[in-house]
């Protein structure tokens, strides 16, 4: 009989099977190689199915997944996509507001805006770290943003034309972000959930300062009130689009919910946002720019008009008013800062060399 | 995991107030330990979350393998007699 190395003989469960294999091997070496490969792949599949079942059980039992735990490749990929997109949104989100730091109407507003923009940088950093725990390379992740391969929230591709936009962004954009992020605090992936808890704690100051800005303008002169209404008009629909495509067109929602990455569908969150925001606008004398807004007793929520999905897909596809400007600004920041990154590393290397010498 | 050619990764631990232990809060990138402390202050303690920071290069951390957790922690699960509730205390006995 032909000798089989133990790692090959292990693949065959019964003696009978092993005898057949040895018999075949005696006559034909190619066919046995083929059998071994098929058998090995089958075993690997079975092992993966078993691991996947254990994984899904953990998810169903609300046990968090941590970086070194086994997870399906698709879960890892899906999380890296979502977390890095989220990180990019925080970082690109600094640009429209940064536009107004030097022109804030007084020192208090300036200090507040500066603190808010600094928070956004921090949120980006928590999230890049969370993506790194999944094996994503940070520099590659950032380069994907710069090459246009990775997306970020389409809301930041709209320009900030007046000071009132700082109010509208804090109130509506951060408000929508909170709606999205609160359920993410219970996300099945530990590092992402923990980052979200930190982010949510800080985000409510962002929303309140924005509402304060818009409220002050709304109770000011007729011109100031008009400025507030104009900002609401321009940011209302893009804010509703922040929740992503409608459930029927959302390719990731179903699987993400099964994995408890997402806890609510896009449309559910959008409805919640409309329900809390419409009365806020009314209470400060502003009007949401949608003639279809109407309280619907039966569903205990507001009906609202159709969203212009054409516009949404255009902006996501890179054709929004500021897409190019935003990515160019990020790319320039990395290129201009490259020498600092290198100099700091060279300095650290030199000092470490001295220490060991 | 530490593939970036840029700055190395650091794990950040923060003591939130005197009397409590340092707790892991996340990670960040910095060229050296001094910068890691400064960045940790900016990233993780913007709202008085801490009074002391530790930073440790991530690649200096050795972790237990989650695949072996059952066998690694088995001894701590099979010894019920390590818990006070294992023992019967007769009625009328107090301060125990």
Beta carbons within 8 Å of B90's beta carbon, 6+ residues apart: none
Residue A217 has pLDDT above 80, yes or no: yes
In angstroms, the separation between the Cα of residue B95 and the nearest Cα of chain A is 38
Pick from B7, B27, B46: CB nearest A129: B27
Q: Report chain A residues whose CB lies below 8 A from the CB of B29.
A: 138
Residue A8 has pLDDT above 70, yes or no: no
In DSSP terms, B57 is beta-bridged to B10
Between these two residues, A11 and B6, which has the higher pLDDT value? Answer: B6
Beta carbons within 8 Å of A132's beta carbon, 6+ residues apart: A138, B1, B9, B27
Query: Contact A247/A257 with Cβ under 8 angstroms?
Result: no
How many CB atoms lie under 10 A from the CB of residue A203?
A: 22
Whether the CB of A335 is below 8 Å from some CB of chain B: the reply is: no
Query: What digits encode the pLDDT tens for the residues A127-158?
Result: 999 999 999 999 999 999 999 999 999 999 99
In DSSP terms, B24 is beta-bridged to B13
The structure's pTM equals: 0.87
- Mark yes or no for CB contact A129/B3 under 8 Å: no
Mean pLDDT over A4-21 rounds to 65
Mean pLDDT over B49-63 rounds to 96
pLDDT of res. A2 = 58
At B10 the three-state DSSP class reads strand
Distance CA A12, CA A39 (A): 8
Instruction: Work out the pLDDT band at A1, boundaries 50, 70, 90.
Output: low
Mean pLDDT over A234-243 rounds to 97
What is the ipTM score, two decimals? Answer: 0.85
- Mark yes or no for CB contact B5/A202 under 8 Å: no
Q: What is the mean pLDDT of chain A?
A: 92
The pairs formed by A317-324 with CB atoms below 8 angstroms and a separation of 24 or more are: A318/A148, A320/A154, A320/A157, A320/A158, A321/A157, A321/A158, A321/A159, A322/A96, A322/A156, A322/A157, A322/A158, A322/A159, A323/A157
- Mark yes or no for CB contact A351/B28 under 8 Å: no
- Mark yes or no for CB contact B66/A126 under 8 Å: no
pLDDT of res. B66 = 84
pLDDT of res. A26 = 65
B interface with A, Cβ–Cβ < 8 A, is 1, 3-7, 9, 26-29, 31-32, 35, 42-43, 46-47, 63, 65-67
For residue A159, the 8-state DSSP code is: -
Distance CA A79, CA B58 (A): 22
- Mark yes or no for CB contact B7/A341 under 8 Å: yes
pLDDT of res. B2 = 42
At A243 the three-state DSSP class reads coil
Q: Which of B11, B30, B32 to mutate to test the interface with A (most CBs of A within 10 A)?
A: B32
């Amino acid at each position: 009989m032909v000798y089989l190395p133990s790692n090959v003989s292990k693949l065959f469960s019964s003696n009978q099977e092993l005898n057949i294999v040895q018999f075949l091997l005696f006559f034909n070496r190619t066919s046995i190689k083929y059998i071994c490969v098929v058998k090995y792949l089958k075993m690997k599949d079975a092992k993966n199915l078993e691991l996947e079942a254990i994984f899904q059980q953990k998810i169903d039992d609300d046990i968090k997944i941590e970086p070194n735990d086994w997870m399906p490749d698709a879960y890892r990929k899906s999380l890296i996509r979502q977390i890095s997109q989220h990180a990019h949104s925080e970082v690109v989100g600094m640009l429209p507001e940064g536009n107004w730091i030097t022109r804030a109407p007084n020192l208090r507003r300036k200090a507040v805006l500066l603190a808010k923009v600094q928070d956004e940088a921090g949120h980006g950093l928590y999230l890049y770290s969370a993506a790194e725990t999944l094996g994503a390379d940070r520099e590659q992740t950032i380069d994907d943003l710069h090459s246009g391969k990775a997306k970020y929230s389409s809301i930041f591709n709209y320009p900030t034309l007046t000071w009132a936009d700082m109010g509208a962004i804090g109130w509506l954009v951060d408000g929508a972000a909170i709606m999205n992020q609160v359920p993410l605090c219970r996300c099945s992936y530990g590092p992402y959930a923990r980052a979200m808890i930190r982010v949510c704690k800080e985000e409510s100051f962002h929303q309140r300062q924005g509402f304060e800005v818009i409220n002050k303008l709304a109770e000011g002169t007729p011109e100031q009130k008009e400025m507030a209404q104009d900002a609401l008009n321009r940011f209302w629909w893009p804010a509703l689009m922040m929740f992503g495509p409608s459930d029927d067109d959302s390719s990731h929602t179903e699987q993400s919910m099964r994995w408890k990455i997402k806890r609510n569908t896009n449309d559910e969150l959008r409805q919640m946002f409309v329900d809390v925001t419409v009365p806020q606008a009314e209470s400060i004398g502003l009007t949401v720019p949608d003639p279809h807004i109407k309280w619907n007793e039966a569903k205990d929520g507001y009906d609202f008009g159709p969203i212009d999905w054409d516009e949404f897909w255009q902006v996501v596809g890179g054709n929004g008013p500021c897409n190019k400007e935003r990515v160019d600004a990020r790319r320039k920041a990395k290129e201009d800062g490259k020498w600092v990154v290198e100099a700091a590393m060279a300095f650290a290397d030199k000092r470490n060399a001295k220490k060991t010498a | 995991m530490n593939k970036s050619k840029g700055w190395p990764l650091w794990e950040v631990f923060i003591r939130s107030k005197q009397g409590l232990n340092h707790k892991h809060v996340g990670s960040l990138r910095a060229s050296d330990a001094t910068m890691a402390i400064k960045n940790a202050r900016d990233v993780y303690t913007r709202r008085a979350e801490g009074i002391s920071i530790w930073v440790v290069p991530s690649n200096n951390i050795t972790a237990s393998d989650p695949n072996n957790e059952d066998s690694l922690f088995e001894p701590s699960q099979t010894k019920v007699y390590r818990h006070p509730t294992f023992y019967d205390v007769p009625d009328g006995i107090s301060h125990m």
